[in-house]
Amino acid sequence: MHDASRLPLAAASTSPGLVWAYRMLPGEPVQELTPGDVEAALAAPAGWIWLHVDLIDKRSHGWIGESCGLPAAVRASLEAHAEALALRHEDGIVHGLCADLHRELDQMTHTIGRLAFAVSERLLVTGRRHTLNGPDELRRALQAGARPQTAYDLFAALVDTFCDHAGQRLAETAAVLDDVEDRLICGHAGDERRRLTGVRRLALAMHRPVAALCGHFHAQERSNWALSQDGHAMLQRLGDRLAALDREVVTANERAKLLQEELSAELESQSNRSLKALAVMTALLLPGSFVSGIFGMNTAGLPLAETPGGFWIALGLAALATTLFYLALRRAGISLRF
């Protein structure tokens, strides 16, 4: 189900594009806000607030910028249709575009989408053009009693959710790789190239956004951004988490690549053995075929044509020729094993 359908119709006029809103005040549980309560919550001097908006609704662009007092650069980042992942800073607000998994009919898919965000100590604004898994899971966690202390913790939870699900997919691929490896070692491997290709396709699809995010977080955490200690700690921790995840992705891809090479070598070896068996069988049948070919000629004066038991004599000559040829190959040191 599309998550925007959970909002009352009044949101379309008071808070266009708003999917949901949450806030937490010190010492109080997390509260879900109605569209009419958003303006008052934004004016509160304490606690944090999270606004999740549908960027397809163009009215949300102006409303978010005006209500939250976002700088022009941050507003442009939220409104842009860019696909390149980014991490920027403007007036104490970290903003940009991060990766997340699409969600269809309340089920997570393996398609990687884009989540626009702007986060400060007290405010997190997230926007999407397609239903994403991270915000939906974070929403359920808040409803279940999770109590992030700052908006930085909220944003970190979104990135952690993406990393967790990416790690689960890597665990599934590791099981596939283990199975293929066991089959190869035991000599029971068939044509597993399709399974290995699927693993490599997934690993490469994950490596691109994870490596890009890792580079952004590691590059920006050393900059002179005007952030609190919590903000810099968040960048440091997420950069380390993404770096560890990227190492797992690269490892899975390298394992799949090595297994592909080993499998190709094994399939080539099987093909060579089959060709060798065919060549050996063809060579051993040549002497017998030569003898039978001679006695099969329809010419006058053919030997054994009038001899009683001539067929069996000819058959014996064919067998003798094949045996002598086999012994000659063995004596020459030619391996006849398949």
d(CA 114, CA 52) in angstroms, rounded, equals 14
| Prediction pTM value | 0.76
- The Cβ of residue 231 has, within 10 Å, a number of other Cβ atoms equal to 23
Give 49's strand partners: 23, 123
Burial of 43 (0-12, 13-18, 19+ CB in 10 A): exposed
Instruction: Say how far apart CA 306 and CA 300 lie, in whole Å.
Output: 11
Report the pLDDT value the prediction gives residue 220, as an integer from 0 to 100. 61
- Structure confidence at residue 51 (pLDDT): 93
Domains and CATH numbers, the chain: 1-148 (3.30.460.20), 277-331 (1.20.58)
d(CA 334, CA 326): 10
Torsion angle (degrees, nearest 10) of CA 7, 18, 160, 249? 100
Q: pLDDT tens digit string along 17-27?
A: 889 999 998 88
End-to-end, the C-alpha distance of the chain in Å comes to 60
- 96 contacts 109 by C-beta, under 8 angstroms: no
Distance CA 117, CA 95 (A): 5
Can you give the pLDDT at residue 16?
80
Phi and psi torsions of 9, nearest 5°:
-65, -25
* Nearest CA among 74, 35, 231, 264 for reference residue 152: 231
Q: What is the DSSP letter of 132?
A: B
Rg (CA), the chain: 35
pLDDT (0 to 100) of residue 271: 79
Would you state the pLDDT for residue 3?
A: 53
Note the Cα 87 to chain centre separation in Å: 22
Helix (H, G, I), strand (E, B) or coil at 179: helix
**Whole-angstrom Cα distance, residue 230 to residue 322?**
86
Measured distance CA(103)–CA(112) in Å, rounded = 10
Q: What does the pLDDT read at residue 189?
A: 67
**Digits of tens for pLDDT over the chain (338 positions)?**
445 444 443 444 567 888 999 999 888 888 998 888 888 888 878 889 999 999 888 887 778 878 888 888 888 888 888 888 888 888 888 999 999 988 887 677 778 889 999 998 899 999 998 889 999 999 999 999 889 889 999 999 999 999 999 999 899 889 989 888 888 888 776 667 788 888 889 888 889 999 988 888 877 655 677 788 888 888 889 999 999 999 999 999 999 998 888 888 777 777 777 787 788 788 778 888 877 787 777 777 777 777 787 778 888 888 888 888 878 877 777 766 65
